[in-house]
């Protein structure tokens, strides 16, 4: 099959669509949606978000050095989109979306109660890349919704139906196709069951 070449651009899709909460030193807070985000280090746990300097929340993060990454779900798709297209300069997005503020444990920024996972972050460095400035931050606390914990104390984010973003569209993640390492995991021949729990 032939391929067409496009001009250089961001085609690394899909990506998580997250809602980021931020607040200034006076306690005024806002929610905005970010697709340019990612994990960059395990120890210490670190992530990045890239934000245009003209966005309303940019100065809040720059001022306090703190923000919260709130993972989104299919149920939160409308709120996620709304918080990405409306500006906090003229809209109270907490009120407009009906999302609920929760107090964080390590930062002065509120969590979003309705999100299944909240990552409290403290900025370590800012890189001015061009259209976006990248905030490199350490994750200083993580909160997970107990509704997705099982009897073995294992967290199942898939049950929350996470939301993904791809080239201007929102998607659910669909069915699980395997678990990490399943391609090299040995089969349990006696029981006729693979070690990932699936029948052969």
Contact 116, 18 (CB under 8 A): no
Residue 95 domain-assigned (yes or no):
yes
- DSSP, collapsed to helix, strand or coil, labels residue 76 as helix
Check pLDDT > 60 for residue 198.
no
- The burial of 194, by beta-carbon neighbours within 10 Å (0-12 exposed, 13-18 middle, 19 or more buried), is given as middle
Residue 7 domain-assigned (yes or no):
no
Contact 35, 15 (CB under 8 A): yes
**Distance (Å, whole) CA 200 – CA 194:** 6
- DSSP, collapsed to helix, strand or coil, labels residue 68 as strand
pLDDT of residue 101: 98
Quick one: CA dihedral 155, 46, 166, 110, positive or negative?
positive
The number of distinct structural domains making up the chain is 1
pTM of the predicted model as reported, rounded to 2 decimal places: 0.89
Tokens representing residue 81 in the block = 């989109």
Residue 189 domain-assigned (yes or no):
no
Give residue 11's pLDDT band: very low, low, confident or very high (50, 70, 90): confident
Residue 119 domain-assigned (yes or no):
yes
Q: Which of 17-31, 57-71, 175-189 has the lowest mean pLDDT?
A: 175-189
Residue 57 domain-assigned (yes or no):
yes
| 94 φ, ψ (degrees, to nearest 5) | -60, -50
pLDDT tens-digit map of 52-74: 999 999 999 999 999 999 999 99
Identify the CA nearest to 48 among candidates 150, 148, 143, 122: 122
Residue 187 domain-assigned (yes or no):
no
CA dihedral 50, 11, 71, 32 (to 10 degrees): 50
pLDDT of residue 1: 85
Q: Which of 131-135, 163-167, 177-181 has the lowest mean pLDDT?
A: 177-181
Residue-range definition of the domain harbouring residue 140: 15-172
pLDDT of residue 177: 87
Residue 136 domain-assigned (yes or no):
yes
Give residue 40's pLDDT band: very low, low, confident or very high (50, 70, 90): very high
Rounded to an integer, the average pLDDT of 29-44 is 97
Residue 10 domain-assigned (yes or no):
no
Vertex 193 angle, CA 192 and 197, to 5°: 170
Q: Residue 97 maps to which CATH number?
A: 2.30.110.10
Tokens representing residue 61 in the block = 């993060």
């Amino acid at each position: 099959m032939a391929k067409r070449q496009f001009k250089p651009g961001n085609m690394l899709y899909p990506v998580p669509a997250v809602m980021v909460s931020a607040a200034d030193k006076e306690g005024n807070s806002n929610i905005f949606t970010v697709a340019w985000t990612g994990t960059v280090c395990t120890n210490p746990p670190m992530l990045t978000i890239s934000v245009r300097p003209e966005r309303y929340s940019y100065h809040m993060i720059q001022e306090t050095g703190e923000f919260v990454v709130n993972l989104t779900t299919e149920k939160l798709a409308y709120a996620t989109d709304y918080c990405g297209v409306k500006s906090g300069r003229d809209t109270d997005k907490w009120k407009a979306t009906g999302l609920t503020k929760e107090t964080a444990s390590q930062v002065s920024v509120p969590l979003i109660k309705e999100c299944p996972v909240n990552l409290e972050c403290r900025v370590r460095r800012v890189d001015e890349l061009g259209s976006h400035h990248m905030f490199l931050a350490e994750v200083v606390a993580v909160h997970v919704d107990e509704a997705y914990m099982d009897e073995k104390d294992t967290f199942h984010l898939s049950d929350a139906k996470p939301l993904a973003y791809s080239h201007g569209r929102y998607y659910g993640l669909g069915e699980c196709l395997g678990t990490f390492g399943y391609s090299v995991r040995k089969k349990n021949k006696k029981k006729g069951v693979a070690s990932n729990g699936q029948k052969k």
